[in-house]
Amino acid sequence: MEIDFIVTWVDMNDPKWQKEFAKYSAKKTNEKNGVSDARFRDHGFLKYWFRGVEKFAPWVRKIHFVTGGQTPAWLDTSNPKIHLVDHADFIPSEFLPTYNSVVIERYMYRIPGLADHFVYFNDDFYITNNITPERFFRNGLPCDIATFLYNPSWSQWYRRIKNNLRIINRHFDKKEVMALHHDKWFDPSYGSRRFWNYVLKPYGKFITLRTPHNAQPYLKSTFEEVWKVAEKELTETSVNRFRSHTDYTPELFRTWQICRGNFEPYNTYSDTKMFPLMIKPEQAIRAINEQKYSLICLNDNVHIRHYDRLMERIREAFDHILPEKSSFEL
C-alpha cells in the first residue's frame, strides 16, 4: 500500500502574497473571519516538519507540498519524494486566490498523482517520534475514532460542523450505521469516550463526532463519493475566500468515511497531542524535547505573550531532537 502525505504552507512575508491578501481582506477586519496573523505566519519550523518525516516516517511514498506558488529558499525541490503543488493545479480558477483552508482541503483529492491512501497535515503538525504506516492505515482503511461529542455551537468551527451534519443525516441512518458497524463504534480502545455512543445509540440523528486535531488519513475515493452527492453545496461555498459560517469543513469527508465503515478503530489520543501555545507553551516545549508523542500540533494565537522568545525556545527543542539537515534541504 502506497501512502502519500499532503502538507499545506504559506509564506505571509512574500510581498506578492501580501499585496493580494490586502486586496481581498480589506473588508475583513476581525479575527473570526480568519484573517489574523496566526492563520498564516510561518515560524521557520517547516524544515523540522521535513526532518521529522525523513527520520520518523521514511516509508512515505510522496510528499505533496501545497502552496499558492511559493517555495522556501532552503527546500531542495529536486528531491524525488517532493511534489510541488500550486493551488491552481487542483482548485478551479474561479475560486482563486483563496485564503480559506477548507476550500483548499475539499479539492485536494484532485492533486495530480495523489495516492489512493493519503494523510493530510496542516503545517503546524509535526512528527516527533517513530511512526509506522499502521498508525494511519490498517487493512487498507484509515485509522480513526468514532465517538460523539457535545457541540456547544460557541464558535464558527462548531457551527460549520453542523453544516456537515445536515449532509451526513441526509444520506445515512444513524441506527443502521451503528448496528452495521457496531464493533467499530464501541471499540474498547476508546475507553470512556464511548459514553456518548451508548447514550445516543437510540437517537436517530448523527451529532458532532469527536474530532482530534490530527494528521488525518483519508481515502481518495471518499472525496469522490462525497462530491457526487454534495457537489452543489461544496461548489457554492467555494467562493468563500475567507472562513465563513456557511462553510463545509474536512470533517464532512472524515465523518462520511466513518459512516461508511471505512475505518479501523484507533484511539488517536494515545499518541497525538495539540498544544495551544497561548496557554501551554511549557508543556509543548517539554513534549518536543522528551518526544512524548508521535504527533504534536503547535496551535498559534495572536495573543501569545513573549512570542519571539517562545518561538526561539521551540526552535531549540526541535534542534535537540532533529539537529541534522534532511535530504529535503539544500
The string of pLDDT tens digits covering residues 192-220 is 999 999 999 999 999 999 988 889 999 99
The string of pLDDT tens digits covering residues 214-248 is 899 999 999 999 999 999 999 999 999 999 999 99
Rounded CA gap, 317 and 212, in Å? 24
**Grid coordinates of 161:** 460542523
Question: Residue 321 — left, alpha, or beta (φ > 0 → left; ψ -120 to 50 → alpha)?
Answer: alpha
Whether the full predicted model's pTM is greater than 0.85, yes or no, is: yes
| Band (154; pLDDT cuts 50, 70, 90) | confident
Rounded CA gap, 326 and 76, in Å? 10
Rounded CA gap, 57 and 54, in Å? 6
Mean of pLDDT over the chain: 91
Amino acid at 316: E
The string of pLDDT tens digits covering residues 31-79 is 454 545 544 556 789 999 999 999 999 999 999 999 999 999 999 999 9
Return the higher-pLDDT residue of 21 and 151.
21
End-to-end CA distance of the chain: 30
| DSSP SS3 for 189 | helix
Task: Find out whether 101 and 248 touch, Cβ atoms under 8 Å.
Answer: no
pLDDT at 306 over 80: no
Query: So what's the pLDDT on residue 30?
Result: 47
pLDDT at 316 over 50: yes
Q: What is the mean pLDDT of residues 4-33?
A: 80
Query: What φ, ψ does residue 124 adopt, rounded to 5°?
Result: -100, 10
List the Cα angle 146/148/151 in 5-degree steps. 140
Of 50-59, 152-161, 291-300, give the lowest mean pLDDT range. Answer: 152-161
| DSSP SS3 for 134 | helix
Residue 158, classified by CB atoms within 10 Å of its CB into exposed (0-12), middle (13-18) or buried (19+), is middle
Separation of CA 165 from chain center: 19
